[in-house]
Structure 1
Amino acid sequence: MQRLVMSAFFAVLPVLAEADAVVGSWNVEHLGWNNGKRLDLVAHVANHFDLLAVQELMAPAALARLEAALETASGEAWSSLASHALGRTSYQEHYGFLWREAEIDYLDGAVVFLDHGDVFAREPFSARFRGRRVGEAFVAASVHVTYGDGVDDRLPEIAALADYWRWLDEAHPGTPRLLMGDFNLPPDHAAWAPLRALGAVPAITDQATTLSTADGAYASRYDNIWYRPDRLSPASLGVVRYPALVGLDHGQARDRVSDHAPVYLALHGGELARLTRDGEGLATALAAGCVDLNGGSVADLETLPHIGPARAAAIVAGRPWGDSGELTRLDGIAAGRLAEIRASGRLCGG
């Protein structure tokens, strides 16, 4: 059952402290345009989550179609919620939420932020949900930060997210908050200092989330979920590198599904379901078990064969990497050592 939110006013009700759910966030890249998107594949990936925040929703009707595809894929009832169109020009987007009714209840408070300073090109959208197994509430908020002509165009919205974080606390006092979305900025940028000062931390710190054109490679650390660890303790978190789940290379995945991979938090003992398609399992797609040349930390890179501190630093300095074959640019890494790195199974994308 789909709901469309037009109003920016809501009632504040008493709330609790924790939640049980696998919560995801995904920029599904122009969902609703006539772009040949494979909704069955989108649904297969989305079915790994109990609640999914969707960015780049171009039409609420597309969210309804995805909801129907999820019900077909899962055999379960789903619901969805869409914002009204947001944007300063003729180009506008919606936000959406999808949730599995057996695991999640929508409570109230669906609202587009009243941005009195007119900072956001697309004002954040939030709602209050409850995990059914534990029966406790949380607030999910979704935002797609403007890309602009460069990083400087994004920084005002990033700075304004600290005020938005405070507003969420005022609107839902005592309720854990999840700020999810495509932020178009890595989580270690200095512009995040105001939000960090309020106790928020990113779920994804060193894993890239956008699909490179090179198969198996990931580029930017833009997608994330911010939360307060003193209020929520994720059972697990990570990036779902979905091409392995749907049997596509990166070129096909970008064309037919999205150029972003979803990120997630598993709360209060929730587990990411191991769903398969065409023989591929979830373990192949989880970023946590591999090292990303473009997103991994120096410590992560040093777990690869033949990569010590100096070479790890050189990998960081040499980003972006198109594929692992380019490691032969490093002093001392020739074909034989490259083969050993690939054979270790530690490298994302092989």
Structure 2
Amino acid sequence: MKPHLRLLFFLLLFSVHSVAQEPLRLLSWNIQDFGRTKDSSEIRAIAQVVADYDVVAIQEVVAGYGGAQAVARLADQLNRLGERWDYRVSDPTDSPKYKTERYAFLWKTGRVQLRGRPWLAGSLPEAVFREPYLARFRFGEHGLLIANYHARRHDEAPEEEIALLAELPALYPGDCFLLAGDFNRSEEHPVFDALERQGYRPAILGQPTTLKHYCDDRSNYLNHAIDNVYLPGGCLPSTRAGVLDLVEDCTRLEEVRRWSDHLPVWVEIAW
């Protein structure tokens, strides 16, 4: 092999190896009433928030007209930012009246590959108002099965259905299974003990993820700690996580609440 070709080969090999070693970045976000009420400026703002991540799980996509279209608009805007994105939107959940929603996944195709077709977990009992949306992704040599979930409202005893979610990991013993979403219960609630006994741990500890309508007299705009990602103990050796504070100052609260009344949560995974 000629010297310049040998050098080019090793540079390409080093580049591919470096990209593969970069951590996977997952973001989960309940985007309130994500549908046709989101105008173009709000879609652009949301795209700027999620563009730095590799996989995005969205809850509260409107089930009727405008929900799937809003996800398509978001994907189109992300593609305008320079990297190639793809997406999937779930069918409407099998829910009681006025509880039906959709979910969505978006991902960078240059970083992550979707494996098979995502599906709603229809095997769960009817007590689960909005069954999770599951998708398998491949990142280099590693696979992840992500369950995207939005629990029933806080005043509707969401712990009754969260307890049933502890059955999901056992249904997929060959997968590295993550559970992400809006649980409407803090990670300190005893309902999560069943998951913890299986080796799962919350990525976020004691950090509020919802927004008040107004700042209080101490300039506090944060409310409840209910959004999280539950991580398995064995297959993810190294993770970092946090809440993405899009407000930072009370002067921005009204603007950010037009996007959602929840803040995104993120997890960075390295193998």
Bin the TM-score by the shorter chain: 0.7 to 0.9
Residue number in structure 2 paired with 1:136: 142
2:166 is paired with a residue of what secondary structure? helix
Distance 1:67 1:35, change over 3 A: closer
- Alignment of 1:226 with 2:234, yes or no, is no
Q: Is the 8 A contact 1:79 1:98 kept in 2?
A: yes
Q: Is the 8 A contact 1:216 1:249 kept in 2?
A: no
Tell me the distance in 2 between the aligned counterparts of 1:254 and 1:207.
18
Distance 1:116 1:232, change over 3 A: closer
Q: Is the 8 A contact 1:19 1:136 kept in 2?
A: no
Q: Deviation per CA, 1:155-188: give whole Å up to 9, x if none.
A: 111100101232233xxx1x21110000000001
Residue number in structure 1 paired with 2:243: 239
Distance 1:234 1:240, change over 3 A: farther
Q: 2:191 corresponds to which letter in structure 1?
A: A
2:206 is paired with a residue of what secondary structure? coil
- Alignment of 1:121 with 2:123, yes or no, is no
2:129 is paired with a residue of what secondary structure? coil
The structure carrying a bigger strand percent of its residues is 2
1:205 is paired with a residue of what secondary structure? coil
- CA shift, 1:62, in A, is 1.0
Tell me the distance in 1 between the aligned counterparts of 2:130 and 2:225.
20
Residue number in structure 2 paired with 1:194: 194
Counterpart mapping for 1:1-350 below 5 A: 20-34=23-37, 36=39, 38-58=42-62, 59-72=67-80, 74-86=81-93, 87-131=95-139, 134-147=140-153, 149-150=155-156, 153-169=157-173, 173=174, 175-212=175-212, 213-214=214-215, 217-244=221-248, 249-255=252-258, 257-268=259-270
Distance 1:178 1:248, change over 3 A: farther
- CA shift, 1:195, in A, is 1.1
Q: Is the 8 A contact 1:141 1:178 kept in 2?
A: yes
1:191 is paired with a residue of what secondary structure? helix
Q: 2:76 corresponds to which letter in structure 1?
A: A
State the TM-score, normalizing by the size of structure 1: 0.65
Tell me the distance in 2 between the aligned counterparts of 1:200 and 1:24.
18
1:249 is paired with a residue of what secondary structure? helix
Residue number in structure 2 paired with 1:325: none
- CA shift, 1:233, in A, is 2.7
Higher deviation after alignment, 211-220 or 36-45: 211-220
2:257 is paired with a residue of what secondary structure? helix
- CA shift, 1:243, in A, is 2.7
The sequence identity of aligned pairs, in percent, is: 27
Q: Is the 8 A contact 1:201 1:227 kept in 2?
A: yes
Residue number in structure 1 paired with 2:5: none
1:38 is paired with a residue of what secondary structure? helix
Tell me the distance in 2 between the aligned counterparts of 1:65 and 1:35.
10
1:180 is paired with a residue of what secondary structure? strand
Aligned pair count? 241
Q: 2:101 corresponds to which letter in structure 1?
A: E
- CA shift, 1:101, in A, is 1.0
Q: Deviation per CA, 1:62-113: give whole Å up to 9, x if none.
A: 11111011112x2111000111011221442101000011111111251111
1:60 is paired with a residue of what secondary structure? helix
1:156 is paired with a residue of what secondary structure? helix
Higher deviation after alignment, 178-187 or 34-43: 34-43
Tell me the distance in 2 between the aligned counterparts of 1:19 and 1:167.
30
- CA shift, 1:248, in A, is 6.2
Q: 2:264 corresponds to which letter in structure 1?
A: P
Distance 1:116 1:101, change over 3 A: closer
